Amino acid sequence: MEQLKAKIRKEGRVLPGNILLVDQFLNQQVDTELLLDMAEFWYERFKDKKITKVMTIEASGIAIAVFVASRFGVPLLFAKKYSSTNVTRESHEVNIYSYTKQVSYNVAISKRLLTSDDTVLIIDDFLANGQALKGLLDLCRSAGASVAGVGIAIEKAFQNGREAVKDFDVDISSLAIVEALDAETGEIRFSGDEVKGEERA
Protein backbone atom coordinates (compact mmCIF):
# COMPACT_ATOMS: atom_id res chain seq x y z
CA MET A 1 0.00 0.00 0.00
CA GLU A 2 1.78 3.09 -1.30
CA GLN A 3 0.43 5.62 1.25
CA LEU A 4 1.79 3.58 4.14
CA LYS A 5 5.15 2.96 2.48
CA ALA A 6 5.51 6.68 1.70
CA LYS A 7 4.72 7.55 5.32
CA ILE A 8 7.25 5.02 6.62
CA ARG A 9 9.91 6.44 4.25
CA LYS A 10 9.16 9.98 5.39
CA GLU A 11 8.62 9.55 9.13
CA GLY A 12 9.86 6.09 10.11
CA ARG A 13 13.18 5.79 11.95
CA VAL A 14 15.45 2.79 12.08
CA LEU A 15 16.81 1.90 15.52
CA PRO A 16 19.58 -0.55 16.34
CA GLY A 17 18.36 -4.13 16.68
CA ASN A 18 16.28 -4.03 13.49
CA ILE A 19 13.54 -1.95 15.08
CA LEU A 20 11.46 0.38 12.94
CA LEU A 21 10.07 3.28 14.95
CA VAL A 22 6.68 4.45 13.67
CA ASP A 23 5.42 6.27 16.75
CA GLN A 24 4.80 9.46 14.78
CA PHE A 25 1.85 8.04 12.86
CA LEU A 26 1.03 4.50 14.03
CA ASN A 27 2.23 3.47 17.48
CA GLN A 28 1.81 6.51 19.69
CA GLN A 29 0.59 9.44 17.63
CA VAL A 30 -1.93 8.22 15.10
CA ASP A 31 -2.53 9.53 11.56
CA THR A 32 -6.28 8.94 11.34
CA GLU A 33 -6.48 9.66 7.58
CA LEU A 34 -3.88 6.97 6.94
CA LEU A 35 -5.73 4.52 9.20
CA LEU A 36 -8.96 5.17 7.29
CA ASP A 37 -7.15 4.31 4.04
CA MET A 38 -5.69 1.16 5.58
CA ALA A 39 -9.13 0.08 6.80
CA GLU A 40 -10.54 0.66 3.33
CA PHE A 41 -7.82 -1.51 1.78
CA TRP A 42 -8.59 -4.45 4.08
CA TYR A 43 -12.33 -3.92 3.66
CA GLU A 44 -11.98 -4.35 -0.12
CA ARG A 45 -9.80 -7.42 0.44
CA PHE A 46 -12.01 -9.22 2.98
CA LYS A 47 -15.52 -7.78 2.50
CA ASP A 48 -16.94 -11.04 1.12
CA LYS A 49 -15.81 -13.12 4.10
CA LYS A 50 -18.77 -12.49 6.40
CA ILE A 51 -16.54 -11.13 9.17
CA THR A 52 -18.33 -11.00 12.55
CA LYS A 53 -15.46 -9.54 14.62
CA VAL A 54 -12.16 -7.77 14.16
CA MET A 55 -9.60 -9.01 16.66
CA THR A 56 -6.27 -7.66 17.87
CA ILE A 57 -3.98 -7.69 20.89
CA GLU A 58 -3.17 -4.92 23.37
CA ALA A 59 -1.79 -2.35 22.82
CA SER A 60 -0.64 -0.82 19.53
CA GLY A 61 -2.95 -2.89 17.35
CA ILE A 62 -6.04 -1.38 18.93
CA ALA A 63 -6.04 1.99 17.18
CA ILE A 64 -5.72 0.39 13.75
CA ALA A 65 -8.29 -2.29 14.50
CA VAL A 66 -10.88 0.28 15.65
CA PHE A 67 -10.92 1.80 12.16
CA VAL A 68 -11.12 -1.61 10.52
CA ALA A 69 -13.97 -2.80 12.76
CA SER A 70 -15.83 0.44 12.10
CA ARG A 71 -15.45 -0.03 8.33
CA PHE A 72 -16.81 -3.58 8.54
CA GLY A 73 -19.55 -2.50 10.93
CA VAL A 74 -18.63 -5.21 13.46
CA PRO A 75 -17.26 -5.16 17.04
CA LEU A 76 -13.57 -4.90 17.82
CA LEU A 77 -12.33 -7.54 20.23
CA PHE A 78 -8.90 -7.22 21.81
CA ALA A 79 -6.97 -9.88 23.68
CA LYS A 80 -5.79 -8.59 27.05
CA LYS A 81 -2.29 -9.01 28.42
CA TYR A 82 -1.75 -10.33 31.93
CA SER A 83 1.55 -10.52 33.77
CA SER A 84 0.42 -13.51 35.87
CA THR A 85 -1.74 -16.54 35.21
CA ASN A 86 -4.67 -15.49 37.37
CA VAL A 87 -7.31 -15.42 34.70
CA THR A 88 -10.62 -17.10 35.29
CA ARG A 89 -12.02 -20.24 33.70
CA GLU A 90 -14.29 -17.94 31.71
CA SER A 91 -11.32 -16.98 29.54
CA HIS A 92 -9.31 -18.61 26.81
CA GLU A 93 -5.68 -18.04 27.66
CA VAL A 94 -2.33 -18.39 25.93
CA ASN A 95 1.27 -17.66 26.86
CA ILE A 96 3.34 -15.64 24.39
CA TYR A 97 7.10 -15.23 24.37
CA SER A 98 8.14 -12.10 22.46
CA TYR A 99 11.57 -12.48 20.82
CA THR A 100 11.55 -8.76 20.04
CA LYS A 101 10.92 -7.69 23.62
CA GLN A 102 12.37 -10.78 25.29
CA VAL A 103 9.47 -11.06 27.70
CA SER A 104 6.83 -13.64 28.23
CA TYR A 105 3.24 -12.68 28.95
CA ASN A 106 -0.21 -14.21 29.19
CA VAL A 107 -3.03 -13.13 26.96
CA ALA A 108 -6.69 -13.84 27.54
CA ILE A 109 -10.01 -13.37 25.87
CA SER A 110 -13.45 -13.98 27.35
CA LYS A 111 -15.19 -17.19 26.27
CA ARG A 112 -18.41 -15.19 26.08
CA LEU A 113 -16.96 -12.84 23.47
CA LEU A 114 -15.26 -15.25 21.09
CA THR A 115 -17.18 -18.36 20.07
CA SER A 116 -17.55 -20.90 17.28
CA ASP A 117 -20.17 -18.58 15.74
CA ASP A 118 -17.47 -16.03 14.95
CA THR A 119 -15.56 -15.40 11.74
CA VAL A 120 -12.62 -13.22 12.67
CA LEU A 121 -10.33 -10.80 10.87
CA ILE A 122 -7.11 -10.41 12.89
CA ILE A 123 -5.35 -7.03 12.68
CA ASP A 124 -1.96 -6.02 14.08
CA ASP A 125 0.64 -3.34 13.55
CA PHE A 126 3.76 -5.52 13.10
CA LEU A 127 4.56 -9.04 12.04
CA ALA A 128 8.09 -9.70 13.31
CA ASN A 129 8.77 -13.17 14.69
CA GLY A 130 5.07 -13.83 14.75
CA GLN A 131 4.55 -14.88 18.34
CA ALA A 132 1.78 -12.35 18.99
CA LEU A 133 -0.07 -13.50 15.85
CA LYS A 134 0.43 -17.15 16.75
CA GLY A 135 -1.08 -16.40 20.18
CA LEU A 136 -4.14 -14.81 18.61
CA LEU A 137 -4.57 -17.73 16.23
CA ASP A 138 -4.31 -20.13 19.18
CA LEU A 139 -7.03 -18.22 21.03
CA CYS A 140 -9.30 -18.46 17.97
CA ARG A 141 -8.58 -22.17 17.72
CA SER A 142 -9.44 -22.67 21.42
CA ALA A 143 -12.70 -20.79 20.90
CA GLY A 144 -13.53 -22.72 17.71
CA ALA A 145 -13.77 -19.40 15.82
CA SER A 146 -12.94 -19.26 12.10
CA VAL A 147 -10.17 -16.94 10.93
CA ALA A 148 -11.01 -15.36 7.58
CA GLY A 149 -7.70 -13.55 7.32
CA VAL A 150 -4.99 -11.46 8.91
CA GLY A 151 -4.23 -7.81 8.16
CA ILE A 152 -0.74 -6.62 9.11
CA ALA A 153 0.38 -3.02 8.69
CA ILE A 154 4.14 -3.68 8.57
CA GLU A 155 5.68 -7.09 7.96
CA LYS A 156 9.39 -7.51 8.64
CA ALA A 157 10.07 -10.14 6.00
CA PHE A 158 13.60 -10.77 7.23
CA GLN A 159 12.20 -12.22 10.45
CA ASN A 160 10.30 -15.46 10.48
CA GLY A 161 6.74 -14.42 11.33
CA ARG A 162 5.07 -16.10 8.34
CA GLU A 163 6.96 -19.29 8.98
CA ALA A 164 5.87 -19.27 12.64
CA VAL A 165 2.17 -19.38 11.67
CA LYS A 166 2.34 -21.47 8.50
CA ASP A 167 0.54 -24.42 10.13
CA PHE A 168 -2.56 -22.26 10.50
CA ASP A 169 -2.72 -21.83 6.71
CA VAL A 170 -4.17 -18.36 7.07
CA ASP A 171 -4.45 -15.59 4.45
CA ILE A 172 -2.07 -12.77 5.51
CA SER A 173 -2.44 -9.35 3.90
CA SER A 174 0.51 -7.09 4.74
CA LEU A 175 0.37 -3.46 3.62
CA ALA A 176 4.11 -2.74 3.74
CA ILE A 177 6.68 -5.52 3.53
CA VAL A 178 10.11 -4.50 4.81
CA GLU A 179 12.99 -6.53 3.39
CA ALA A 180 15.84 -4.79 5.21
CA LEU A 181 16.60 -2.08 7.75
CA ASP A 182 19.92 -0.32 8.18
CA ALA A 183 20.33 1.59 11.44
CA GLU A 184 23.58 3.25 10.27
CA THR A 185 22.26 4.78 7.05
CA GLY A 186 18.59 4.86 8.07
CA GLU A 187 17.71 2.94 4.90
CA ILE A 188 14.40 1.10 4.79
CA ARG A 189 14.07 -1.32 1.88
CA PHE A 190 10.65 -2.62 0.93
CA SER A 191 9.79 -5.70 -1.04
CA GLY A 192 9.89 -4.69 -4.72
CA ASP A 193 12.48 -1.93 -4.20
CA GLU A 194 15.55 -2.19 -6.36
CA VAL A 195 18.72 -2.95 -4.47
CA LYS A 196 21.30 -0.21 -5.15
CA GLY A 197 24.03 -1.34 -7.50
CA GLU A 198 22.28 -4.63 -8.26
CA GLU A 199 22.96 -5.98 -11.73
CA ARG A 200 19.85 -6.98 -13.60
CA ALA A 201 19.99 -9.99 -15.89
103 binds ligand G4P (CB under 6 A): no
- Provide CB contacts within 8 A for 76, sequence distance 6+: 53, 54, 55, 56, 62, 65, 66, 68, 69
The nearer residue to ligand G4P, 117 or 129, going by C-beta atoms, is 129
As measured in angstroms, the least distance from the Cβ of 47 to ligand G4P is 26
Helices within 26-173 (DSSP H only): 32-46, 61-72, 131-143, 161-164
170 binds ligand G4P (CB under 6 A): no
77 binds ligand G4P (CB under 6 A): no
126 binds ligand G4P (CB under 6 A): yes
The nearer residue to ligand G4P, 117 or 163, going by C-beta atoms, is 163
Distance CA 201, CA 192 (A): 16
The nearer residue to ligand G4P, 47 or 97, going by C-beta atoms, is 97
- Provide CB contacts within 8 A for 128, sequence distance 6+: 99, 100, 156, 159, 161
160 binds ligand G4P (CB under 6 A): no
Among 33, 47, 59, 166, binds ligand G4P (CB under 6 A): 59
Distance CA 108, CA 87 (A): 7
List of residues contacting ligand G4P (CB under 6 A): 19-22, 27, 57-61, 98-101, 125-132, 161
